[in-house]
Structure 1
């Protein structure tokens, strides 16, 4: 298995945080019933599968049927995990967007995409997704697909600069303090409470409170990837009242305890946590 993950070219960095391409190992076997927990980033994502079955997701472990989504989707900003079918190996490419980028690249604000997966072809002109998919399928490897996908993003962005409200630019770039509150963001923006919340939701898909909670969760994951860090130390460093407070929040966001995450997650892909294959009842 090979995964390429990098920042985009400079011309895209105001809109795109990172891009990636995944190639399964040659001859990788099918794993009937296999799923993985996909943990939230707080950002909007674009993802295209090049081969294999369409993307299929589940709300939780007891969801036996799930939802089929197609091969090209936009994942809106989420506050909690979902599960993804990984029973069939497949190649894919994708991007994690910055706040405000969805309106530029896809024509809709992040608030219209949040908390759900939307087929990409519902947001773009007829035939554009199929044409992109054909170009991606013609590539020999992940590096080639990543170049094609990045070029498509550049074409979509051409002449369409990101247009975040200046007050939001300052707020979103401020380094997050573990004990920062939504009221602090509103105060720093200089806007009225109602105006700030509305603009923030349009740009990120989340309310400031939820966005801050995910920024803190991101800090937790970064520290937890270091085996020497204790959960009590991580709780203290990230502003939780104690280890129990951290554990409860972690379980709400990820659907698993911190200990299970640490045993099952690969530090290289901490937001994609494999689960044992499920035996699904009819």
Structure 2
């Protein structure tokens, strides 16, 4: 796996670019499926080998194929995907609010699901995939992918100032009412603008950012108590932390720690659990 930050002109829109060459298994060696945890952001992925396969739940025996080029909308809960065999892929995680500038569609129209890229861009999406298939290495694929995103970036458009200001404030506070007041918009109008741009309501977005802080603390302090981790991440108490953790990940904090994910968003599901 190769991952890097985008070039400066794309950094307001893209958090990270990544490419997998398919020479190693995507998930934990003891798992064929994994939980993908919500980040509050959207992603765009080109599967250069087999298509993405998802399962409706942990006990779904067959799952369903999504496609080779797809957009994962911002979501408020986990999903289950197939990682039983290695597969080449190239992808990007967008900055919150960048969806319409890069994809031409409001984030609210894509949230909570996966959408085939050809449904948004037409045949050109498959042409782009062919260009990435011809790349000689993950590094070359990333360069081509970055050029693709640059070409698709809507010229002369920018994130709504209200949403841009809110995202900046939400980096330091989860007080939605205070941010609404600072925006000068009505509560209803603010919520609509934010959800259209980000794909989530402000309250859910802030909850997921707090959940992500908790995951970061779990990774950096593996021996810390759960009560301490909850307070560090901004939860009022451990009970609140536990409820959010289960809602967003489908598992308890203790099981998450036992499963020891290499990447904090990719949680391996033991084979015995997916039968």
Output the TM-score relative to the length of structure 2.
Answer: 0.92
| Inter-partner Cα distance in structure 2 for 1:250 and 1:100 | 24
Structure 2 residue 225 is the aligned partner of structure 1 residue 235:
no
Structure 1 residue corresponding to 2:269, chosen from 271, 275, 281: 275
Other-structure match for 1:256: 251
Other-structure match for 1:138: 134
1:195-215 deviation line (CA, Å, top 9, x unaligned): 101100111000111001011
| Inter-partner Cα distance in structure 2 for 1:26 and 1:202 | 38
Structure 2 residue 91 is the aligned partner of structure 1 residue 91:
no
RMSD: 2.3
Q: CA deviation at 1:67?
A: 2.8
- Choose 4-13 or 59-68, whichever is displaced more: 59-68
Kept after mapping to 2: 8 A contact 1:45/1:95: yes
1:69-91 deviation line (CA, Å, top 9, x unaligned): 01111000000000001112101
> How many residues are treated as equivalent by the alignment?
274
Structure 2 residue 205 is the aligned partner of structure 1 residue 211:
yes
Unaligned runs of 5+ in 1: none
| Inter-partner Cα distance in structure 1 for 2:190 and 2:164 | 12
Unaligned runs of 5+ in 2: none
Kept after mapping to 1: 8 A contact 2:31/2:268: no
Quick one: structure 1 residues 32 and 118, their matched pair in 2 at CA, closer, same or farther if it must change by over 3 Å? farther
Other-structure match for 2:168: 173
SS of the residue aligned with 2:270?
A: coil
Kept after mapping to 2: 8 A contact 1:45/1:94: yes
Other-structure match for 2:12: 14
Q: CA deviation at 1:238?
A: 2.3
| Inter-partner Cα distance in structure 2 for 1:73 and 1:278 | 29
| Inter-partner Cα distance in structure 2 for 1:156 and 1:28 | 29
Q: CA deviation at 1:151?
A: 0.9
SS of the residue aligned with 1:34?
A: strand
Other-structure match for 2:145: 149
SS of the residue aligned with 1:130?
A: helix
Structure 2 residue corresponding to 1:184, chosen from 170, 174, 178: 178
| Inter-partner Cα distance in structure 1 for 2:99 and 2:80 | 23
SS of the residue aligned with 1:123?
A: helix
Q: CA deviation at 1:33?
A: 7.7
